[in-house]
Structure 1
Amino acid sequence: MKPFTRTLAAMALAVGLASGAQAQDRLSFKAIGQPLATGLIQKNKEQPFFEQFAAKTGLPIDVDYKPIDTLGIKDTEQLRVMKAGLFDFVSLRVSQNSRDEPMLLGLDLVGASPDYATGAKVSKAWFDTVDQRLQQQFQVKLLAVWPFGPQILFCKKPISKLADIKGMKVRVYDQNLAKFIELVGGTPVPVAFADTHQSLSLGVVDCAVTGPSSANSAGWPEVTTHQLPLGFQMALNGYAITLKAWNRLKPDQQAKMSAAFDTLSKDIWAYSEELFQDALNCNAGKDPCTTGKKFKLTQVAVSPADLELVRGAVSKTSLPVWAEVCDKSNPGCSQKWTAAVGPVLGLK
């Protein structure tokens, strides 16, 4: 073999070995996403982030991302699926998984986050406690928390105030909200988001609670007539990773990943707030409407009395109800919440 040929062969071998080493260093993770049916945050923020994960994070990681409603997995089973090691990342639906871990719901008690600014403070105050609990119980690390936005009321019967739901069946998604609806005089009915449109259409429920953008994406205004833009909860969700996957990363890689999820969550907080007002306009057939389809819902004015009713729910209903459940599975849970979150809300 001539010297030049030997040099080329050596270079080719070196490149091949280097490529092999790079391939070995590259990681492949699987992710559970939000349901497709939830709309624009999933479509425009979450899915692109995971599908471009290496570019977004600067990490040699490829992610196989699947929305949960394409997997045949219930959104109430996310923590169990993660603990079993079937996925590495999860876009965690907080309320839906609070039966398996009640501490989660401390992020989003009814009345605790009537607006985005308060919601951000509450989630920051409770974040570390939830993270520690998830690591301990499910071997899952919390990376970020973000909101769909204020969850409001949609009805297929005329309403002019919150008290008008008395005697009506209302779709809810967690026990905290269910207790509040009972307090107001409604009958709470647990219905999965994907089934709510049909439930409204068939009269299984008279009203339902979700964010205005998600309602628009799912076509709820086709089967309702009124929207009351009074925020019960912020519909907080989280991003989490199994400790097994997390521990495969070097410390500098962990720092990069944390920073990337922090950036993503801040982006979603801002985007969610933009969507909220625009979707209210779209649902009511008003301009500007740039993110959804125009409908003709009657927008009910929020009265000071209704606003006070929701804000007062924390001390009167949502905290006592949740505390009983959380303290039963984790003694001292509500005391920790009061110490951490109470000062944010002015509670003693």
Structure 2
Amino acid sequence: MRRAVFWFAAMIAVGLSSAQDLPQTQLKVLGSLSTRSIYQDIEVPFWTKTLGNDSKGRITAEIKAFDDVGIKGPDLLKLTGKGIAQFASVPLSYYLTDQPINEAINIAGLATDAKSAKAITLAFEPVLAETYRGAYGVKLLGVAVSSPQLLFCRTPIQELAQLKGRKVRTSTGSQATFMQALGAKSTVLSMSEATKAFQDKSIDCAISSSMSAFKAGWYKWTRTVFAMPLGWNNQVYVVNQAVWDKFDPQVQVFISLELKRLVDQLWDYSATDNQKGIACLVGSKSCPVATKAKMILVNPSQADYAFAKNLSKQKVLPRWAKQCNESCVEDFNSTIGKAIGISVKR
């Protein structure tokens, strides 16, 4: 509690003081995938312009997408901890299978709206911070989302129950469990593999973001966008702990404030990008690019939202709890569980 009060007071002090008082500091950053819109539209401008402008040029940064420098996603946390990078933007999708604790904030069906997803994320963030510091030697600066993960199908569907017997591309363990609980068949495919599978008619549906689906041309082989988020594609921002500890305290507070603004911006951007993607998929005039897409948008009923949450509680969450260790489940119940009023047993 005292530490929290100290940091709050420090943030106010830095906010009131002149940015010109900050010591000159140069940062090196590994950004997200170069093909992701959040890298191009948000991360690059933030690190190369916003940070410099807000600090009156005292804090500047260089950023490169991790795939552009030959680093693989599953190595990001480890390499940042070893000092290969100072700061890194890490898609959590690379860390869900081997480390189930990372999926606690992304259990399919548990948060089907942005408000719930953010509440879950904020509740569990201290647990992730402690985990990353101990396992990798990095400090967690924030958890954001890339985009809600929707359902795309070759033939029309009006409700989740109609997925029974269909083959669905999933990208997380909890999504696979969710589909299996519906009586669907789950298969793990990359975006390019899913696109080919749609062309070959070897899958019926797939889960992805609206903009990714549009850019991949899925509208050529699918008819329905079922607009229920079944995941949120979380992104974490970390810094090497040893590097962080060497920064001037004013720099630490300044960067913490700036990263909080970045995370808030990404949550807002996620909603905007999702609507933009949907507009393009259905052929709306509000799509910023020319499109021949004419998909059918299905907005789930309130009954289906309730059905999804109940299915998640009864089938998906218990399966996840068995994969996580006892302390992980205890942490879930004491944070996320309290925030949304649920409890799970291992």
Query: 1:284: which partner in 2?
Result: 282
In the alignment, which of 178, 196, 199 is matched to residue 198 of structure 1?
Answer: 196
C-alpha deviation, 1:294, in angstroms: 5.5
Gaps of 5+ in 1: 1-23
CA root-mean-square deviation: 2.5
**How much does 1:346 deviate?**
2.1
SS at match of 1:66: strand
Corresponding residue for 2:39? 42
The question of whether the paired residues in 2 share the 8 Å contact of 1:37 and 1:194 is answered with no
In structure 2, distance between residues paired with 1:155 and 1:69: 30
State how far apart, in whole Å, the 2-side matches of 1:244 and 1:220 are.
44
Distance 1:204 1:238, change over 3 A: farther
Specify the code of the residue in structure 1 equivalent to 2:314: K
Contact 1:286 1:294 in 2 (8 A): no
Higher-Rg structure is 1
Q: Decide whether aligned partners of structure 1 residues 76 and 162 sit closer, same or farther in structure 2, where only a CA change above 3 A counts.
A: farther
Aligned to 1:29: 28
Cα 1:138/1:162, change in 2 over 3 Å: same
1:32-111 correspondence to structure 2 within 5 Å: 33-39=31-37, 41-52=38-49, 54-55=51-52, 58=55, 60=58, 62-111=60-109
Match of 1:335 in 2: 330
Superposed displacement of residue 61, structure 1: 5.0
- Secondary structure of 1:178's partner? helix
Tell me the equivalent position of 1:137: 135
Do the aligned partners of 2:178 and 2:312 also contact (CA within 8 Å) in 1?
Answer: no
**Structure 2 residue identity aligned to 1:38:** R
Report the 3-state secondary structure (helix = DSSP H, G, I; strand = E; otherwise coil) of the residue aligned with 1:133.
Answer: helix
- Asked if the contact 1:53/1:61 (under 8 Å) is kept, the reply is no
Question: What is the alpha-carbon distance in structure 2 between the residues aligned to residue 64 and residue 220 of structure 1?
Answer: 35
Shift of 1:180: 0.8
Q: Which amino acid aligns with 1:231?
A: P
Change (3 A) 1:35 1:313: farther
Aligned length: 320
Over 3 Å counting, the alpha-carbon distance change for 1:43 and 1:223 in structure 2 is farther
Q: Please give the residue correspondences for 1:215-226 in structure 2 after superposition, counting only pairs within 5 Å.
A: 215-226=213-224
Q: Match for residue 3 of structure 1? A: none
Deviations 1:228-286 (A, max 9, x none): 00111222222111213212312111111111110111112122222222322221123
Does residue 252 of structure 2 align to residue 257 of structure 1?
no
CA distance in structure 1 between the partners assigned to 2:244 and 2:86 by the alignment:
9
- Separation (CA, whole Å) in 2 of partners of 1:292 and 1:183: 39
Which residue in the other structure is 1:176 paired with? 174
Contact 1:108–1:236 (Cα < 8 Å) also in 2: yes
> Cα distance 1:335–1:100, how it changes in 2: closer, same or farther (>3 A)?
same
Q: 2:152 aligns with which of 116, 134, 154?
A: 154
What's the counterpart of residue 320 of structure 1?
318
Give the Cα–Cα distance (whole angstroms) in 2 for the partners of residues 91 and 199 of structure 1. 30
Between the aligned partners of 1:196 and 1:84, the Cα distance in structure 2 is: 35
C-alpha separation in 1, matches of 2:101 and 2:217: 32
CA contact (8 A) 2:155 2:204 kept: yes
Structure 2 unaligned runs (5+)?
1-22
Structure 2 partner of 1:7: none
Residue in structure 1 matching 2:300, options 288, 299, 302: 302
Shift of 1:28: 4.4
Does the Cα contact within 8 Å between 2:226 and 2:300 map onto a contact in 1? yes
Change in Cα spacing, 1:38 to 1:26, as seen in structure 2 (3 Å) is closer
1:186 corresponding residue in structure 2:
184
Cα 1:67–1:193 change in 2 (3 A) is: farther
Helix, strand or coil for the counterpart of 1:36?
Answer: coil
2:115 and 2:289 map into 1 onto residues whose CA distance is 23
For 1:61 and 1:325, how far apart are their aligned partners in 2?
42
Match of 1:233 in 2: 231
* Alignment TM-score, normalising by the size of structure 2: 0.83
Contact 2:96 2:173 in 1 (8 A): no
* Per-residue deviation, residues 284-328 of structure 1 (Å, max 9, x unmatched): 12343347846211223413342122211332123212212221x
Rounded to whole Å, the distance in 1 between the matches of 2:86 and 2:341 is: 38
Identity fraction in percent: 25
Residues 282 and 259 of structure 1: CA distance in aligned 2, closer, same or farther (over 3 Å):
same
Contact 1:150 1:211 in 2 (8 A): yes
Secondary structure of 2:246 counterpart: coil
> Does the 8 Å contact 2:52/2:59 carry over to 1?
no
